[in-house]
Amino acid sequence: MVDPAADEKNKVRAVTEDDIGLKVLYESRAPSTDIIAIHGIGAHPDDTWCKKVDTGSSTERYVNWLSDEHMLPAVVLDARIIRYGYQSQWFGDEAISQKVSTVAQRLLISLRRARQV
């Protein structure tokens, strides 16, 4: 028997227009390296990189390991950390129709535009 509460808890947040494209999560003072994180199919571009941490209280707290100063930025000191978001609901009732090559092409266009700025 499927538990509806568990199913709702595991539901992925919808990707909106604001979530699509490149988003700088962390930038060092003098970045010499770009790290670009791309979420998986059926995932949310921000939630993918978050982990629920124990706070010792009933309050939930999530840490984004791409942007939290104690995580990746602490290891790669001279980096600009960017995440790329795209419509990723490829299965189910709300599935969109696009090819992986289209997502890749849009990523490359976004990177080219960002480098020209």
Q: Count CB-CB contacts under 10 A for residue 45.
A: 22
Say whether pLDDT at 57 is over 60.
yes
Question: What is the number of helices (H) and of strands (E) in the chain?
Answer: 3, 5
- For the whole model, what pTM was predicted? 0.78
In tens, the pLDDT along 59-91 reads: 888 899 999 999 999 999 999 999 999 988 766
**Are 39 and 87 within 8 A, CB to CB?**
no
More confident residue, 94 or 6: 94
**Are 21 and 65 within 8 A, CB to CB?**
no
Q: Quote the pLDDT of residue 6.
A: 44
Mean pLDDT score of the chain: 84
CA distance 48 to 62: 11
